[in-house]
Amino acid sequence: MDFIVAFLKKLPWISIGLFVGGLVLGLTWGYVISPVEFVDADPSYLRAELQEDYMRMAIDSYRLNQDPNLAVQRWKALGVGAQQAFGAIQANPKNTDPAVVQSYGELITNVLSGEPIPVEKTGLSIVQTATLGIGVIVLLGVLAYGGLYLYRLLGNRGSGEVTPTMQAVEMSRKAEKTNFEQLGLAPPITQTMTTYVLGDDLYDESFSIDTQAGEFMGEYGVGVSEAIGVGDPKKVTALEFWLFDKNDIKTATKVLMSRHAFNDPGIRARLEPKGELVLVEPQSQVLLETATLQLLATVVDLEYGKGPLPADSYFERITLELAIWPRQG
């Protein structure tokens, strides 16, 4: 009994009390006082079976009004759930005319990408199981990414050592952002500074694109694409930056290369499948475009590493300014 009392006295009751109180207060606020309300949400928020019903109505509407713009607009309204809903209808047309389903699918294929829309050959229960599995994988990926980010940021803080990630964060904070309005341009939707520093082997930054109303438009980011030499830390010779647009089926990507890598046929051959190859130079600018977005990357700061490897072959540090605008026209 005395052992139990002593153990209870050692527990951090104040911290536990604050945690439980904060949890109760947060749940009360989120579910009772100010619950989340969806207003004018698009069909992509519907459950899978309701998305399938929406797709059936879109196909039936296309049978009566064969407007390709309207058909594609309704397809895109379902977002990533469009292909799953269409595959379920292909596998089980029910009262939907299979000929119209095929015609609708061919239209979407031709207009969007020319890539075939996968045909679901299994029942909806398997689709639901696969969706659940994908959701679990995504959740684990998010948790792993969060853990890696914290490790990058705080890995050596306990010893008082300044990590490369901490140096990069400080450099990005001090870098001066471009005032695009003074240049006669509209202010970007979002504008971010990101810095790679030699030794940050896990460098991989990504950012969300949201409207002022909170509507999700896509994501963008930059990470390590290629390293040269052996040993630690990695000698990064190329970075790749990318732009994902929820209204586009493909992610736009370009590869930013050191001078040595850009002139090396072997490295170029390995990186060409990833996207357009671009030579990195101080103050140079590179543009990425998707269906509705454009990203302007500016090389704010660049310094090459000095060592036994070829000159200008890997980055000591590089700071990029990433700005996003809606694509006009």
State whether 182 and 301 are in the same domain: yes
Q: Which domain holds residue 230?
A: 178-326
pLDDT surpassing 60 at residue 109:
yes
- The answer as to whether 160 is a domain residue is no
Q: Pick 45 or 237 by higher pLDDT.
A: 237
* Mean pLDDT confidence for 111-116: 60
Residues 199, 289 within the same domain: yes
Query: Which own/partner contact pairs does 61-68 have at CB distance under 8 Å and 24+ positions apart?
Result: 62/100, 62/103, 62/104, 62/107, 63/97, 63/100, 68/107, 68/111
Higher pLDDT, 288 or 14: 288
Helix (H, G, I), strand (E, B) or coil at 203: coil
95 and 182 share one domain:
no
Whether 81 and 48 have beta carbons less than 8 Å apart is answered as: yes
Residue 142 lies in a domain: no
pLDDT for residue 221? 94
- pLDDT-derived band at 3 (thresholds 50, 70, 90) equals very low
Integer angstrom CA distances of residue 162 from 155, 196, 309: 9, 15, 26
| Better-scored residue on pLDDT, 29 or 252 | 252
- 186-206 pLDDT, tens digit each: 999 999 999 999 999 989 999
- pLDDT reported for residue 116: 46
Q: Are residues 78 and 200 in the same domain?
A: no
The whole-number average pLDDT for the span 153-170 is 71
Considering the domain boundaries, does residue 157 fall inside one?
no
Domain shared by 269 and 185, yes or no: yes
Total domains in the chain come to 3
| Percent above pLDDT 90 for the chain | 41
Residue 140 forms part of a structural domain? no
Residues 64 and 29 in one domain: no
Query: What was the pLDDT predicted at 57?
Result: 86
Q: Of 218-227, 259-268, 275-284, 320-329, which gets the smallest average pLDDT?
A: 320-329
pLDDT at 22: 74
Cα–Cα distance, 86 to 99 (Å, whole number) = 14
Q: Where is pLDDT greater, at 103 or 317? A: 317
Same domain, 195 and 78: no
pLDDT at 123: 42
Whether the predicted pLDDT of 281 surpasses 90:
yes
Does 301 lie in the same domain as 281?
yes
Contact between 240 and 225 (Cβ < 8 Å): yes
Average pLDDT over residues 45-59: 84
> Residue 163 above 70 pLDDT?
yes
User: For residue range 37-51, what is the model confidence (pLDDT) as tens digits?
Assistant: 666 677 777 888 888
Q: Are residues 259 and 291 in the same domain?
A: yes
Specify whether 11 is located in the same domain as 61: no
Q: What share of the chain is helix, strand, coil (3-state, %, to 5)?
A: 45, 25, 30
Mean pLDDT of 265-288: 95
